[in-house]
Amino acid sequence: MPANEDTSSDDFVALTRIKPGRTNPPAGTQVKMPGTDESSSSPVLSSFTASTEEQKGFEKGDFRSMPYRNVHEKLFRDFFELVLQRAVFQSTSGEDRVVEWVDPHNLRSVVDLSLPTEGVGHKELLTLTRDIIKYSVKTGHPHFVNQLFSGLDPYGLLGQWLTDALNPSVYTYEVSPVFSLMEEDVLREMRAIIGWQGGEGLFCPGGSMANGYAINLARHHR
């Protein structure tokens, strides 16, 4: 993720790409970002005093997937506040339209969906987030009615954010202990609802996949 584009400070510690095979930067290295306290530190790969042009070059080339507090915390907070206010509360209030409709050939001129060779700064990412929310269908709007997806459950959303942050793969207990037991408990409760005392279950990514599994099982029913 690119670093913030505010590079007014004379001293700048560049954030370079992590080499393949390395999961942690060398111990003892520190980073100082513009506007941050010099006492704060975060592991990075290299440090030097760079010119403004060099700073921008390293910002655009910083595509690390690891979150760093002094680089990404403000982005996270700004992003979540934007989503919370506009995609959660404003979109479900019923005060705005279900969708700000724009014809397909005009939408690309309103929302920048281009794929640039170089990354963009955090300000551009937040602008894009705001535009995506504005011109998307508000499925949580009181006037949006769909038999499969409508409404926004606050607890389900929180659970989804937590799941995405932890990114578990629920195929063995060793790699996902909590979610493995959670899956068993939820499936047991779902079987109890329909009166089954035993059996197994499987979570599906959607209704079409679930129907496909059901049809396949019905073919082998004896």
Residue type, 24: N
Q: Report the pLDDT value the prediction gives residue 98, as an integer from 0 to 100.
A: 95
Give the model's confidence band at 59: pLDDT under 50 very low, under 70 low, under 90 confident, else very high.
low
User: Which is higher by pLDDT, 175 or 10?
Assistant: 175
More confident residue, 49 or 127: 127
**Picking from 63-72, 73-82, 190-199, 207-216, which range would have the lowest pLDDT averaged per residue?**
63-72
Output the pLDDT for position 82. Answer: 97
Mean pLDDT of 196-209: 88
For residues 4-29, average pLDDT: 42
| pLDDT at position 46 | 36
The pTM score is 0.66
208: left (phi over 0), alpha (psi -120 to 50) or beta: alpha
Burial 129-159 (b: 16+ CB within 10 A, else e): beeebbeeebbbbeebeeeeeeeeeeeeeee
Q: Which of 45, 18, 49, 16 is nearest to 34 (CA)?
A: 49
pLDDT score for 175: 94
Which ranges constitute the DSSP H helices of 31-176? 52-60, 69-82, 91-92, 104-110, 122-135, 154-166
**Both tokens of residue 164?**
């995405």
Mapped onto helix, strand or coil, the DSSP state of residue 122 is helix
By mean pLDDT, which of 1-5, 19-23, 39-43, 137-141 is the weakest? 39-43
Structure-model confidence comparison of residues 14 and 194, the more confident one: 194
What are the structural domains, with CATH classification, of the chain?
Answer: 1-64 (no CATH), 67-167 (3.90.1150.170), 168-219 (no CATH)
DSSP symbol at 3: P
Supply the pLDDT for residue 62: 54
pLDDT digits (tens, 9 = 90+) for 92-130: 999 999 999 999 999 999 999 888 888 889 999 999 999
The confidence score (pLDDT) of residue 137 equals 95
pLDDT score for 22: 43
